[in-house]
């Protein structure tokens, strides 16, 4: 039990001390993790675990949707993408369809990787000449 309490305390401290950018990365990592768990559960014909994993993934997507700042055009585009992902996961959960889960997982990984790259660029912005050259 001590191990769990220590781990839970570590997780809590990690969340409480994280920047908003780091929290977003944690959510993207959680989304990817739950989608991968859903795939595994569907393969194993574990309907309950698949259902729970998909519901957790959908909860993260809802969190992303509700925290968007709609003053930016990119937020409106992300809202449409998140809504699509959510609806696809509803279908995947009803049908226990790994193809749909895999499609959403691919989108989630791309979003996570883009967020990771944005975080790196924000910490170490490239000189204007390098950005223009690319």
Q: By residue range, what is the domain housing residue 81?
A: 19-121
**Based on the structure, what is the number of domains in the chain?**
1
Predicted local confidence at residue 132, as pLDDT:
53
CATH number at residue 65: 1.20.120.340
Degrees (nearest 5) of the Cα angle 23, 75, 56?
45
Burial of 49 (0-12, 13-18, 19+ CB in 10 A): middle
Per-residue pLDDT of the chain in tens (134 residues, 90 and over written 9): 445 777 676 666 666 778 999 999 999 999 999 999 999 999 999 999 999 999 999 999 999 999 999 999 999 999 999 999 999 999 999 999 999 999 999 999 999 999 999 999 988 776 655 555 55
Predicted local confidence at residue 1, as pLDDT:
46
Whole-model pTM over 0.75:
yes
Decide if 10 is inside a domain.
no
Decide if 127 is inside a domain.
no
Q: Which residues contact 111 (CB under 8 A, 6 or more apart)?
A: 28, 81
Decide if 97 is inside a domain.
yes
Decide if 11 is inside a domain.
no
Q: d(Cα 89, Cα 6) in Å, to the nearest integer?
A: 34
| Residue 64 CB coordination number (10 Å) | 19
Phi/psi-derived region of residue 13, left when phi > 0, alpha when psi is between -120 and 50, beta in every other case: alpha
């Amino acid at each position: 039990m001590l191990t769990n309490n220590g781990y839970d305390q570590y997780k809590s401290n990690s969340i409480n001390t994280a920047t908003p950018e780091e929290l977003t990365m944690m959510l993207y990592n959680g989304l990817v993790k739950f989608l991968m768990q859903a795939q595994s559960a569907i393969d194993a014909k574990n309907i309950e675990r698949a259902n729970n994993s998909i519901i957790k993934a959908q909860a993260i997507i809802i969190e992303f949707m509700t925290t968007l700042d709609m003053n930016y055009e990119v937020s409106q585009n992300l809202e449409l993408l998140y809504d699509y992902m959510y609806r696809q996961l509803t279908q995947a959960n009803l049908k226990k369809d790994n193809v749909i889960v895999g499609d959403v997982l691919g989108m989630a990984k791309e979003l996570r990787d883009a967020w990771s790259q944005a975080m790196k660029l924000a910490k170490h912005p490239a000189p204007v000449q390098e950005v223009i050259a690319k």
